[in-house]
Amino acid sequence: MPLQSKAFQRWLHGVAPDASTADVCRIAGIKRTTLAQQLVRGKVAESTLVSISRGFHINPVQALSTFDLYSELRGDPVPPTGCELVSQVATIDLLRAVVERSEPGSAAAAPLSEPPHPTSVRNWVDAIDDGELRHRVSDATGIAPQNFSAHLTANRLPPELAIATSRAAGVGPAGGLVAGGLITEAEAGWPPNARQEALDRMSQSALVTLAGERLLALGKTLRRQEQDHERTERIWENLG
Partner 1 sequence: MTAVLPWVTLVVCLAVTVARIPSALRGENRVVFYIFSLISLSIFISIEAPYLVLDSWLGGMNIGNLILRFLLYTTFFLMGIKIATAFGSSSAVRAIRGPVGLTVAAIVAVLTVYFFVITDTQGSSAGMSGLRWGPSLEAYAFMGRFYPGFVAACLVPAIWRTVVSPAPVLLRVASALLLLGLCLLLLSQFFPLIPFSEAWLRVLINYSAAMSTCIGLAGIWFSKAYARRKRRLSA
For the CB of residue 144, give the shortest distance to partner 1 in the complex, in Å: 17
> What are residue 4's DSSP bridge partners?
43
* Interface with partner 1, residue 17, by CB under 8 A: no
* Interface with partner 1, residue 36, by CB under 8 A: no
For the CB of residue 237, give the shortest distance to partner 1 in the complex, in Å: 8
Question: End-to-end distance of the chain based on CA atoms, in angstroms?
Answer: 42
* Interface with partner 1, residue 234, by CB under 8 A: yes
CB 138 within 8 A of CB 144: yes
Nearer to partner 1, 75 or 240 (CB): 240
Taken in order 97, 194, 83, 143, the sign of the CA dihedral is negative
* Interface with partner 1, residue 203, by CB under 8 A: no
Distance separating alpha carbons of residues 216 and 190, to the nearest angstrom: 29
Per CB under 8 A, the segment of 16-24, 102-110, 159-167, 227-235 that binds partner 1 is 227-235
What's 76's DSSP letter?
A: S
* Interface with partner 1, residue 220, by CB under 8 A: no
CB atoms within 10 A of CB 236: 9
* Interface with partner 1, residue 232, by CB under 8 A: yes
Name the site residues for partner 1 (rule: CB under 8 A).
228, 231-232, 234-240
